[in-house]
């Protein structure tokens, strides 16, 4: 028997990403985002939803650039901290013990300590309500060499990403691998 839970943001899992921007003075800032996801393959793009009240909102809109930084479970404390304080009130990179590095291709800083970094150029924004959806074209991906697998792509075991579960207000690391994706299609083709 299903129970209706009403109009709530209860999908899972949500990523824990940290978005990097520069403010008007060129000060690097970071904020935690859980309302986000890959939203297009060609061109490769990512979407994040920000409240207008965040400092990041104006910084991102003015510079038309941001980075998406994927923290490891080992950096959960830093990722949480930058989600509860504002760059309006001081240097969040310093507060969280993180290092800002200028991106190569966009006007935004990335987080050196986090293993996976996406440089994004703002292409679209849609005001939805409390949140505005920003779409960024991914113009480069950087990854620590240690987290790359034999195929040259980042692995779950290397990156150790984690998720935010809104109903429990908690973070969960990714669990075990349960099997290959598109397996049904492969079987289909083989037949
Ligand atoms: C786990 C977590 C997820 C969050 N996700 C979002 C989000 O998707 N969108 C948003 O606007 N704020 C989100 N926040 C809140 C912002 O990170 C927070 O308001 C932050 O202080 C904004 O920083 P800024 O003012 O320096 O931009 C989240 C916070 C946490 C801890």
pLDDT digits (tens, 9 = 90+) for 59-87: 999 999 999 999 999 999 999 999 999 99
Residue 165: helix, strand or coil by DSSP?
A: strand
Question: How far is ligand 1, taken at its centre, from the CA of residue 188, in Å?
Answer: 43
pLDDT at 37: 98
58-97: b or e for each residue (b if 16 or more CB lie within 10 Å)? bbbbebbbbbbbbbbeebeebbebbbeeebeeeebbeebe
Pick the atom of ligand 1 nearest to 16's CA: 1
What is the C-alpha separation between 64 and 72, in angstroms, rounded? 26
Q: Which of 58, 63, 11, 8 is nearest to 31 (CA)?
A: 58
| CATH fit for domain 14-190, picks 3.10.105.10, 1.10.1380.10, 2.30.110.10, 3.30.365.10 | 2.30.110.10
CA 48 to ligand 1: nearest atom: 8
pLDDT higher than threshold 60 for residue 191: no
**Hey, which of 54, 89, 125, 163 would you mutate to test ligand 1's pocket, going by the most ligand atoms within 8 Å of its Cβ?**
54
**Ligand 1 pocket test, candidate residues 31, 52, 81, 111, most atoms within 8 A of CB:** 31
- Ligand 1: which residues within 6 Å by Cβ? 16, 29, 31-35, 49-51, 54-56, 80, 83-88, 164
14, 33, 82: residue to mutate for ligand 1 pocket, most atoms within 8 A of CB: 33
Condensed to tens digits (0 to 9), the pLDDT of residues 23-43 reads 999 999 999 999 999 999 999
C-alpha to C-alpha distance for 145 and 137, rounded to whole angstroms: 23
Residue nearest to atom 5 of ligand 1 (CA): 33
pLDDT digits (tens, 9 = 90+) for 87-144: 999 999 999 999 999 999 999 999 999 999 999 999 999 999 999 999 999 999 999 9
Ligand 1: centre distance to CA 164 (Å)? 12
The model carries a pTM of: 0.97
Give distance in angstroms: CA of 176 to centre of ligand 1.
28
**Mean pLDDT value across residues 12-18:** 97
Map out the domains of the chain as residue ranges. 14-190
pLDDT in tens, 140-185: 999 999 999 999 999 999 999 999 999 999 999 998 999 999 998 8
DSSP-derived pairing of the beta strands 28-33 and 116-127 = unpaired
């Amino acid at each position: 028997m299903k129970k209706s839970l009403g109009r709530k943001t209860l999908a899972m899992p949500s990523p824990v990403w940290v978005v990097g921007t520069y403010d008007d003075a060129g000060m690097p800032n970071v904020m935690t985002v859980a309302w986000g996801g890959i939203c297009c393959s060609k061109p490769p793009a990512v979407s994040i939803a920000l409240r207008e009240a965040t400092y990041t909102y104006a910084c991102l809109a003015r510079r038309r650039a941001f980075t998406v930084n994927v923290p490891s479970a080992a950096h959960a404390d830093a990722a949480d901290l930058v989600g509860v304080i504002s760059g309006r009130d001081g240097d969040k990179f310093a507060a969280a013990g993180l290092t800002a590095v200028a991106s190569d291709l966009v006007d935004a800083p990335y987080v050196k300590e986090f293993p996976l970094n996406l440089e994004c150029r703002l292409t679209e924004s849609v005001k939805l309500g409390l949140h505005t959806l920003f779409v960024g074209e991914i113009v480069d991906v950087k990854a620590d060499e240690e987290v790359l697998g034999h195929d040259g792509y980042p692995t779950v075991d290397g990156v150790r990403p984690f998720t935010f579960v809104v109903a429990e207000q908690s973070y969960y690391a990714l669990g075990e691998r349960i099997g290959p994706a598109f397996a049904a299609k492969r079987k289909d083709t083989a037949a």
